[in-house]
Structure 1
Amino acid sequence: MRNAYLRVASALEEHGSKGRGTSWQCIAHEDRSPSLSLREGEKGVALKCHAGCATEDVVSALGLTMADLFDEPLENRQRPQVVAEYPYTDEQGEVLFVVRRLEPGYDGDRKTFRQFRPDGTPGTKGIRRVLYRLPQVLAEAAAGGTVLVVEGEKDVDTLAHLHVVATCNVGGAGKWSDNYTASLRGASNVIVIADRDEPGRKHAETVYRSVMAAGIPVQILEAAKGKDVSDHLAAGLDYDALRTPEWHPTNPGTQSASQDADSEDGSGSSGTHSGTPAWEEPVSLDRRALPPFPLDALGPLAPFVNATAESLQVPPDMVAFACLATISTATGGRRKIQVKHGWSESTALYLTALADSSEKKTPALNAACDPLRDIETELIEAARPEVEETRQEIRITERAMEAAEKIAGGGGGKSADREEAKADAEAAREKLLELGENPALPLILVRDITLEALALRMAEQGGRLGSLASEGGLFKIAAGLYGNNGKANTDLLLEAYTGGPYSIERIGRPDRRMPSTFLSLGMIIQPGMVAGLEKKNPEFRQSGFLGRFLYAKPAPTEYDTFDTPEVPFAVADEYAQRIRALVGKVWNTKDVVMMRLSPEARAEFGRFYDAFAQRRKPGGDLHDIADWAGKLRGQLIRIAACITLFEDPQAQEISLDRVQAAISMAPYFISHARAVFDLMGKDREGALRPLRDLLSWLRSRPDPGADFSARDAWQALKGREWAEDMDTMNGVLKDMEQHGWIAYRPMPDSGKPGRKPSSRFDVHPWVASPPVHPTNPTTHP
């Protein structure tokens, strides 16, 4: 007999089990007749209780582990470990049972799930089965929101980090019941996201049919990359990239049950005439529904960003961008990241957020960079005596050389005096070379500055600097929006992003050469500054400068009150102390230290890199912004490094958690970059304004779904800036029809003389009953 059999049989005997060979009494329950089989296999033994006890429960009762069922030495086998726990609660949040995820799983599986009572006892017999995150699901459904149904708890938690309400049933695929569907009543929409395998598709179909039978609007989507929605998001894709699978049981379209009930033909129109159109989903007129900033990805920076945003009543994006720019500046080019052989990244970040006037742009910037400015003031005062002394010595030496040169070059006087003066001039010249140029006081941050002044300030500071500004003067100059005949030399900005060398050539004065450069940019500017930018200066994007920025287009906050919470002292002080530590241990050092990814982080980033690569190729969803997308992967590494150094200035390795957190930010950056590039290139906001005005008027009517005439629209909207005449209104109505929000209703010819009746239009059902976007419950098309 082999090792595993002898090990288990001995344990059975020690615990009083009666039996031999393959039949034994099970010690996990009261077993009067042998019901436990013990059989030898190729690599160990198999245990099975025919009374229904779980194998792991029997093994645990014997004081063994599942690894003990195998013949090979225990130390060579990785034991299952609990990697996550998922509490299932009742409506009030009281824990009913807990699901534990173990990796590696038992019997060679990659993972295993086990259920426990709240006290840790295995098994959940007699306990009510509920949906995961039940309180949140019930609240969302009661509010008429959207609930996503996925297959596993990990996917639910992944979506929760994106502020999306999602759920699943215990046990995974094949375990859905109509009792679960009852908890979804009231939801305006249920979206089932199927796993891309056969069990996942069958499970999704079961959920779909159960929800549909309950009269709840439902549809099925699946990941575009990977097996499940977690894989999909990890690949850098966002919600909009989910797709309707070809195997869908029926075509759910986009129509809700309430729309179906409006009319027998399913048109949803409140009109009673025949010929009602078969509506399809209209093109959204809303500003792009952009995801909120993923605060959780900021790790130790998140508390300060959240508290400051609440205190100032500004979007977290604005504070996060300002803080990231501040942290990047504090690294001062003294760290690089070795991503792989032949690929290294700087810690320089270029960040631009858009915010309208009076949206507290400057307070948000100041909150982030004030600690750095305080440190800068201290450095200036500490360096001032030595700097002033050196400057004075340079002035004295220059005057001494000038006086000596005057005597040495004069025609009178003794020859010996001229020779002595010449020697004095030479000594002064050598001393000036030794002293160098006039030293500058330490400078870490500048606000709005010209490109020429920026180059000089950087040269004075050894080639490194940070610029945080709310007016965007540097951005305007670089874009050629004023001065230089629409042209600007952005070479310094391009080089400083990568850390390359740069030279300043000056007529009449020595050239200034910087062997390496480092610049961090953080700008919060008004949207109008970038609107139509590509039309005004197409070369600005072609230079590659725009592709170096991460963008944010945060939605303004909906509140503006006098009394706001203060940032807790402990939170503000911790942020300030971390910035101080960065300056002391990173900025103030001379050597450039190379950071690396941990092996696990490198493998994770490699998977993301490969999945992301195809999206930039022709046919990929990012091909139209491939110039920007090509730099995103490196920018995520830069963010991971900056947050790592913020947490530990002496860190030389970037962890798996930090890389995963940075990757989780990709959907946010992609969505916001699209919105900003759209604004730069097409000025879409202005083009859609008349259509938005028309949609707002239609929804404001007593019966929003009723048909209307062109004359009705003209009478309601004339006087608007864009509504110049009836021809303009007819053009807007045509555009609105092309976008799918209205449909022209052919009118029969009455045969009577006189003025023809005004054109009439049917109205899309979404005008009266707009659906809620699952990733932004407050946003309607």
Structure 2
Amino acid sequence: MSTPATHDIAAEQAVIGAVLLAPDQLDSLAETLTPNDFYRPAHAGLWEHLTRMRAEGVPVDPLTVAANLATAGELERLGGASYLHTLIQAVPSVANAGHYARTVADHAKRRRVVTLGHKLTQAATTGDPGSVLAELAELDTGSGWPALVPLGERRHLPVFPAEMLPGWVADQVAAVAEFTQTPIDLAGSIALAALSTAAGGRAEVEVRGSWREPVNLFLVSVLPPGSRKSAVFACMISPLLCAERALAERMRPVIIETELLAKVAGKAAERAANVAANASDPSVRDSMIADAAAAAMQAEAINVPPVPRLIADDVTSEKAASLLAEQGGRLAVLSPEGGIFATLAGRYSGTPNLEVFLKGHAGDMLRVDRQGRPAEHIDKPALTLGLAVQPDVLRDIAGMPGFRGKGLLARILFAIPENTVGHRKIGADPVPADVAEVYATNLAALVASLAEWTDPAVLTLTQEANELVLNLEREVEPLLAPTGAWAHIVDWGSKYVGAVVRIAGLIHLAEHLRDGWAQPISADTIDRAARIGAYFTAHALAAFDDMGADRTTQYARHVLAWLSRTLTTAFTKRDLLRSVRVQSPTAADLDPVLSLLELHGYIRPAEQAPRTGAGRPASATYLVNPELYRPAATVTALRTGDQKTA
């Protein structure tokens, strides 16, 4: 099953460009489209301006439109004169303008369904659902059932666009997903974590001026137990462990030699101190003390390099800080579990300690006190986080002290894949040896090429790439407004463009393994990173929706999971109570749940047969919307890029 898109920027550009080329088409197209149907705010503004000019009898040609917008002070806000030319160039055929308009209108309806989902959730618990139901009636599918409105956006999330990754990474991601029969999202997210670990703070992208983004990421995938998370981690991370051992072997002679020098220097300083202490002639004692002090300073100046380490598992904040100081400010915390969140929340210390992770993501200076040594300043710490957690952990972390308020959740790229358990193919093909070998070799090469850098390598952007970043900023900014679509995740959305730039830096380094710093990041790389960023945006909206879900919504999701497992077409309230007793202990708890599911179009009450005779009345029966059981895409389909229904 393909994941429905909620916008098509190319279609929006084509319909506006067609009007600029053939203004007479505007009259008929305006009957199909309104400004609110456009996803990109600049396109909505342009359409509103074009229709107004047409109504006033003003010519709708590029020069007149540009002059009119400039007079109104709107030209630069809506993209400038050059963007009008871009819109004209985006038109494949003016004759197909009606098709482009219908495409834009259809996507607007899909966005309306998503909005209705949020309204229905609120109306079921806190408001009057009547007005929302009236809106929903307009979207009737014609099958006797209303349109299925997701609880949040969980059911209709996009699939990770692995094809946007460098070829050798995408091949490994697809092969691991196939072999483990897991969603491609999991391997894709861990692949980004692996690249982030390999680059490990040794590079940063210079966007413009003093704005630089380090290329380390925080990634969290959410999957239920039994989803083979550990197997995927093993396949994607094991080359890093091999590279870590190779670095350690290469450093072993240096470490041994330095330890010996430090030992000899220490003994020499100790002997000099003893000689000075035992000197009986005051005339030479001062000279001996000076010699002993010099020997002690020389011994102290010898720093034994640590054994190189790339990866830690479930560490405390204090241990992470110590490892960061030891490893020159670079470390990755990778784990198929989410226990570290409880640790950060103060499971052992009783006090949340998020500073190391907050500064480790941002690259802000960190002061580290290590036992037996002077305090150290890490100028640009770079911490990578790659975790796979269970859904309950996702809901728990929203309530952990400081996680939202201090900005930890705002730094995380979430992935909430569709669960493949129960639909997995038995005896799937293993990862091809050549694919695994290329992945391991290239990942090790990336580690080795950057391992010796002390100051980060600076990656620059081409002029075209910088323009794409600017356009992305223009798109995002209105979404962060109090009335914007991202208003409730403004903390996350404010870091979105930076996250896209970081992903672009990793793609660039992975495609230029040994000299990525010698050439700028291209516009194509930014575009591919933005497509991955769009994936994480949809999943972040779902993750924050899930974290903020109330008790009724959580129960409703348990019921949907039960229906998906049983594939039943009808059930009674008594059946449901027996089956989900753990999540919903009383019949009273089910009433608002059933109402919520009915409002979202998942179920509806069946007509009850008239009661005859004595005895307990029959339990209420509900019918299930068959749309709920559309089969999920198989892993094989995801691997090949064919997301049609299997």
| TM-score relative to the length of structure 2 | 0.72
Question: CA–CA distance in 1 between the matches of 2:6 and 2:27?
Answer: 13
Change in Cα spacing, 1:328 to 1:724, as seen in structure 2 (3 Å) is closer
Instruction: Give the match for residue 302 of structure 2.
Output: 435
Q: Contact 1:450–1:473 at 8 Å: present in 2 too?
A: no
- Equivalent-residue separation in structure 2 for 1:521 and 1:687 (angstroms): 31
- Would you say the 8 A contact 1:601–1:659 is kept in 2? yes
Q: Summarize deviations over 1:239-265 as a string: whole Å, max 9, x none.
A: 953689xxxxx9993323332xxxxxx
Q: Which residue of structure 2 lines up, in the alignment, with residue 632 of structure 1?
A: 496
| Counterpart-to-counterpart distance in 2, 1:689 and 1:251 | 20
* Distance change >3 Å, CA 365–CA 723, structure 1 → 2: closer
Alignment of 1:235-246 (within 5 A): 240-241=110-111
Deviations 1:282-304 (A, max 9, x none): 66488442110112211323222
Residue 564, structure 1, aligned to residue 564, structure 2: no
Q: Confirm whether residue 336 of structure 1 aligns to residue 204 of structure 2.
A: yes
- Cα drift, residue 573 of structure 1: 2.8
**Offset of 1:658 from its aligned partner?**
1.0
Q: In the alignment, does 2:441 pair up with 1:577?
A: yes
What letter corresponds to residue 425 of structure 1 in structure 2?
A
Aligned position for 1:445: 311
1:725 to 1:643, Cα distance in 2 relative to 1, 3 A: closer
The answer to whether the 8 Å contact 2:155/2:418 transfers is no
Query: Which residue of the partner structure matches residue 257 of structure 1?
Result: 142
Q: Residue 328 of structure 1 aligns to a residue in which SS?
A: helix
Distance 1:681 1:203 in 2: 40
Q: Which position in structure 2 is the counterpart of 1:597? A: 461
8 Å CA contact retained: 1:714, 1:729: no
Can you list the C-alpha shifts for 1:425-453, whole angstroms capped at 9, x where unaligned?
A: 313212123313x3212222223322222
In the alignment of these two chains, the number of paired residues is: 548
Task: Please name the residue that 1:544 is paired with.
Answer: 407
Q: Which residue of 1 aligns with 2:38?
A: 223
Between 1:427-436 and 1:611-620, the stretch displaced more is 427-436
Match of 1:68 in 2: none
Give the Cα–Cα distance (whole angstroms) in 1 for the partners of residues 464 and 482 of structure 2: 31
Aligned-partner residue type, residue 451 of structure 2: W
Q: 1:669 corresponds to which residue?
A: 536
How far apart are 1:634 and its partner, in Å? Answer: 0.8
1:767 and 2:628 equivalent?
no
Residues 262-277 of structure 1 mapped to structure 2, 5 A cutoff: none
Q: Does the CA contact (< 8 Å) of 1:503 and 1:514 recur in 2?
A: yes
In 1, the alpha carbon distance for the partners of 2:469 and 2:602 equals 43
- Paired residues of 1:223 and 1:242 also in contact (CA < 8 A): no
- DSSP 3-state at the match of 2:399: helix
Contact 1:499 1:517 in 2 (8 A): yes
User: 1:653 pairs with 520, 540, 547, which one?
Assistant: 520
Q: Please show how residues 468-547 of structure 1 align to structure 2 within 5 Å.
A: 468-480=334-346, 482-488=347-353, 490-506=354-370, 509-537=373-401, 539-547=402-410
Residue 678 of structure 1 pairs with residue 580 of structure 2: no
Supply the distance in 2 between the matched residues of 1:243 and 1:737 (Cα, whole angstroms): 15
Q: 1:573–1:474: structure 2 CA closer, same or farther, 3 Å change rule?
A: same
Q: CA offset at residue 678 of structure 1? A: 2.6
Any conservation in 1 of the 2:148–2:627 contact (CA below 8 Å)? no
Larger RCO (CA under 8 A, 6+ residues apart): 2
C-alpha distance in 2, partners of 1:196/1:540? 53
Distance 1:672 1:393 in 2: 54
Are the equivalent residues in 2 in contact too, given 1:532–1:683 (CA < 8 A)? no
SS of 1:542's equivalent in the other structure is coil
In 2, Cα distance between equivalents of 1:444 and 1:231: 51
CA-atom RMSD, angstroms? 4.7
Aligned-pair distance for 1:309? 1.6
Matches of 1:771 and 1:611, distance apart in 2? 35
Q: 5 Å matches for 1:703-718?
A: 704=570, 712-714=572-574, 717-718=577-578
CA 1:608–1:201: 2 relative to 1, 3 Å: farther
CA contact (8 A) 2:207 2:213 kept: yes
**1:194-227 CA-partner distances (Å, limit 9, x unpaired):** x999848947989x9xxxxxxxxxxxx9432238
Q: Name the amino acid aligned to 1:527.
A: P
Mapped partners of 1:737, 1:443: distance in 2:
54
The aligned residue for residue 477 of structure 2 is 613
2:480–2:493: 8 Å Cα contact kept in structure 1? yes
Is 1:553 matched with 2:421?
A: no
Q: 1:603 to 1:530 in 2, by over 3 A?
A: same
Task: Classify 1:239/1:385 alpha carbon distance in 2 versus 1 (closer, same or farther; 3 Å).
Answer: farther
What amino acid maps onto 1:767 in structure 2? N
Q: How far apart are the structure 2 equivalents of 1:697 and 1:564?
A: 23
Q: Structure 1 residues 374, 238: CA separation in 2 closer, same or farther (over 3 Å shift)?
A: farther
Distance 1:610 1:475, change over 3 A: same
Asked whether the equivalents of residues 555 and 593 of structure 2 are also in contact (C-alpha less than 8 Å), the reply is: no
Cα distance in structure 1, aligned partners of 2:389 and 2:262: 42
The Cα shift of 1:479 comes to 3.4
Q: Which amino acid aligns with 1:625?
A: I
Query: Map of 1:210-359 to 2, 5 A cutoff?
Result: 222-225=37-40, 226=43, 240-241=110-111, 253-259=138-144, 284=151, 287-300=154-167, 301-359=169-227
Amino acid at match of 1:254: L
Q: CA 1:450/1:399 → structure 2, altered by over 3 Å: closer, same or farther?
A: farther
Q: Which residue of 2 aligns with 1:458?
A: 324
Counterparts of 1:365 and 1:663 in 2: how far apart (Å)?
25
Aligned counterparts of 2:140 and 2:359: Cα–Cα separation in 1 = 52
More helix by share: 2
Question: Which one has the largest radius of gyration?
Answer: 1
What is the aligned-residue identity percentage? 28
Give distance in 1, aligned partners of 2:361 and 2:6. 43
What's the offset of the Cα at 1:328?
A: 1.8
Aligned AA for 1:543? K
CA contact (8 A) 1:173 1:203 kept: no
Alignment-derived partner of residue 641 in structure 1: 505
Whole-angstrom distance in 2 between the partners of 1:364 and 1:695: 28
**Structure 2: how far apart are the matches of 1:309 and 1:390?**
45
Give the Cα–Cα distance (whole angstroms) in 2 for the partners of residues 323 and 352 of structure 1: 12
Shift of 1:642: 0.8
Amino acid aligned to 1:463:
G
Distance 1:695 1:518, change over 3 A: closer
Equivalent residues of 2:574, 2:619 under 8 A apart: no
Give the CA deviation at 1:616.
Answer: 1.0
Structure 2 counterpart SS, 1:532:
helix
Q: Hey, what's the Cα distance between the residues in 2 that align with 1:424 and 1:352?
A: 56
8 Å CA contact 1:147, 1:774 repeated in 2: no
Q: What code does the residue aligned with 1:360 have?
A: R
Closer, same or farther: CA 302–198 of 1 in aligned 2, 3 Å? farther
Give, in whole Å, the separation in 1 of the partners of 2:379 and 2:326.
Answer: 13
Unaligned ranges ≥5, structure 1: 1-139, 159-167, 175-194, 209-220, 245-249, 260-267, 269-278
